Amino acid sequence: MSASYYPVHPCLRAAVSHIMVVDLHLPGPAYGRSAPFPPTPQHSLNFYPGDATRSRIGQQSFAELPACTIIGPQTRKVDLAMGTHHRFVTVAFHPGGLFRLLRLPMPELLDRPLDAADVLGREIRQVSEQLQEARHPPAMKHIVEAYLLRKLGPGTPAGPLEHSVRLMLQGNPADTIDNMAAQSCLSLRQFERRSREILGYSPKFFARVIRFSRAYRLKVHQPRATWTTISHHCGYYDQMHLIRDFKEFTGTTPKLITQEILAAPLTLQDDLRL
């Protein structure tokens, strides 16, 4: 998948990691094949100004996603089916960034994509309409960035809690939840409670999602790598722990998810930047 990445205005950097724009044409019949999208530690605001994107969880029927969809904490694999003109703009948030925008406890969004217009109102519909008229990725980026500047303003720097959970993305195995709570100037109980509020789940579970996502994306990039090699590289104690996480987060085994990756019209997480 070819994607364009854009850094954001300095006033947004406390909340937003980057803006990504994808614009491509897919071969074959529209919505003929689906692509797996398992959990990632990244929350996002996704715009679909091209053909609609359809999604499903498990054996549900595919349903069309709203023109702008809020994606919060995810613990289950979603299958996505695209039209022939796959066009989307993603606002990728730092951990805690989506909470800054919405001011909603993230557990309310757990495995529940939301129509952004229901939460953010008429202005987000206007952004979606402007994106449909835009022709080039830089123009799309500027449209979305202007909206975020109006909503988030100059913002405040990341606090100790946000800084601690963002360090978890770097995967330091020597760090512990106790140490991160201390770095956040919070008791362990306060750290757990506040982390659930801004992430959607406990810091320990967040660490599991990070490790699983790293293993999945490594397989996407290196399909010939064995799962044993991947489990060691990503910090799993052994391959059985990796298999346990794959069953929990995808509902299937590493072997079967590999077949889904190879059969997909595109690999949606190969360019994910965390």
Residues 145 and 168 in one domain: no
> For the domain that residue 140 is a member of, what is the CATH number?
2.60.120
Residue 198 falls inside a structural domain = no
Q: Residue 157's CB: how many other CB atoms inside 10 A?
A: 8
Contact by Cβ (8 Å): 167, 180: yes
Residue 12's contacts (CB-CB under 8 Å, 6 or more residues apart) are 145, 148, 149, 152, 155
Residues 123 and 187 in one domain: no
How many angstroms separate the CA atoms of 131 and 250, rounded? 32
- Domain check: are 71 and 106 in the same one? yes
* Count of domains for the chain: 3
147, 236: one domain: no
Give 10-residue mean pLDDT values along the chain (274 residues): 88 95 86 90 95 90 95 95 90 96 96 95 95 94 97 86 87 72 90 95 93 91 88 88 92 87 81 76
What is the per-residue pLDDT for 9?
95
3 state DSSP class of 64: strand
What are the φ and ψ backbone dihedral angles of 17, each rounded to 5 degrees? -75, -50
Q: State residue 172's pLDDT score.
A: 61
- Expressed as residue numbers, the domain containing 247 is 204-263
Looking at the fold, whether 23 and 142 belong to one and the same domain comes out as yes
Q: Scan for tokens 């990632």, then name that residue.
A: 40
Instruction: Examine the fold and report which residue of 169, 192, 215 is the final residue of a domain before the chain moves on.
Output: 192
Q: What is the pTM of this model?
A: 0.93
Would you state the structure tokens that stand for residue 212, as one six-digit string? 């699983």
Residue 271: inside a domain: no
Give me the phi and psi of 254, to 5 degrees please: -55, -35
3-state DSSP call for residue 242?
Answer: helix
- Whether 186 and 229 map to the same domain: the answer is no
Which pair of structure tokens corresponds to residue 62? 């595919």
Residue labelled with tokens 């405040």 = 156
For residues 141 and 215, membership in a common domain is answered with no
With CA atoms as reference, report the closest residue to 254 among 239, 269, 274.
239
